[in-house]
Amino acid sequence: MDNDMPVSKIVVVVGTRPEVIKMAPVIHALKRSPQFACHVVATAQHRELMDQALREFNIEPDLDLDLMQPQQSLSALTCRLLTQVERLLLEWRPDAVLAQGDTSTVFATALSCFYQQVPFGHVEAGLRTGDLGNPFPEELNRTVTSRIAKWHFAPTPRARGNLLGEGIAPQAIHLTGNTVIDALHQSLRRGDEPTEGALDGERRLLVTLHRRESFGAPLLDICTAIRHLVDRNEDLRVIFPVHPNPSVKVPVEAALGGHPRIELCPSLGYHHFIRVMKSAFLVLSDSGGIQEEAPALGVPVLVLRNETERQEAIEHGMVKLVGTRTADIVQAVQHLLDDEGLYSSMIKDQSPYGDGMAAERIVQVLTAHFSTCA
């Protein structure tokens, strides 16, 4: 590359733990490239968990907007995001902005870029359920973001097909794989994390919950199912890193606290969590990222939702949707505990979410663009 080529300023915006995890490989790849000056902005939509992930991936934000407030409404958060992101765009004048996923941080960042006519790149573009209310508000966030983005970094052919079906120009869509697989591979290569292992004769059930649609009655139904399963199966031990949101923490501790084989713990660091997940017999979760990570580790997942935008692993038989009804959860888990053949059929040797090179492909697309523009 010509040493006199101008350096392009790229701003990466993150606000939650999953965004940091999935953007960390992109941030590090951009920082390795002499063509880019990469600046990281943290919105702190989720303060504690975002900070934890930033430390784990050795990322120091260039600007922290510190927007998290107790019991904040989506409207109030979005208004503050729009105002603050617009301010930094006007001050920094970046050549491009990147964000990942479908949170309010991503939606507001994309909209601010549109207003200021700054090119926006959407990482993990094209995920859809087809129902604007499920998940809420993520489906709306990512759908609107797709109308704004200049670059659509699609993780799978299905995601690319969704974008094409919405009229996105084919040349604007780049099939990259999912950056979470990059982060997963990088984590597994670390030699400073202890290996987790289940005790002899023990089967671990890893549980995570955080989505708004799980709050209230669905969450209580899930907890009832977990307690019933542990009481029925003496070899079953539950590990449940509890999300700090009071809408999760309070009812979970009330329903499941004190059981000798249900371990309620604070949210784990990513590298530790990956090793716990690798040692699990089965995962119950409403998380999106876990639907991508666990299949790559050979661990089956039962999704505690009625819809999912990640159909690939379901089509490959690695993941199943079970919803939130107590009876459905108990039946699905018990079948896997009792039927070795059924359980084995959910373990595959190849992930549908990529090969761990997604970040490099994203940087290659940006490099080609700005080399042409220079």
Mapping DSSP to helix (H, G, I), strand (E, B) and coil, where does residue 275 land?
helix
Tokens of 139: 């489906």
Residue 305 DSSP one-character state: S
DSSP assigned state of 212? G
Annotated active-site residue in 210, 275, 305, 361:
210
Please give the Cα distance from 354 to 352 (Å, whole number).
6
Residue that the structure tokens 């040493």 belong to: 3
Task: Indicate which residue of 19, 56, 95, 138 is catalytic.
Answer: 138
pLDDT of residue 201: 78
102 catalytic residue (yes or no): yes
Instruction: Give the separation between CA 151 and CA 149, rounded to whole angstroms.
Output: 6
Helical (H) or strand (E) element with 42: strand 36-42
Q: Which residues pair with 285 in a beta bridge?
A: 208, 303
Give the DSSP letter of residue 71: T
The alpha carbon of 360 is separated from its chain's Cα centroid by a whole number of angstroms, namely 19
10-residue mean pLDDT profile of the chain (374 residues): values are: 74 96 98 97 92 96 93 92 97 98 97 98 97 92 97 98 98 98 93 62 93 90 97 96 92 95 94 95 94 95 94 94 97 97 92 94 97 77
Catalytic residue at 212?
A: yes
Does 335 participate in catalysis according to the annotation?
no
Catalytic residue among 243, 305, 310, 361: 243
Convert the pLDDT of each residue in 206-225 to its tens digit: 999 988 888 999 999 999 99
Instruction: Give the predicted TM-score (pTM) of the model.
Output: 0.91
Q: What is the dihedral of CA 334, 335, 339, 344, to 10 degrees?
A: -100
pLDDT tens-digit map of 99-145 = 999 999 999 999 999 999 999 999 999 999 999 988 999 999 999 99
Full set of structural domains in the chain with CATH: 8-177+357-373 (3.40.50.2000), 203-345 (3.40.50.2000)
243 is catalytic: yes
| Residue type for position 148 | I
Does the annotation mark 138 as catalytic?
Answer: yes
Q: Which of 19, 56, 95, 124 is catalytic?
A: 124
Q: Can you list the alpha helix ranges (DSSP code H) found in 189-216? A: none
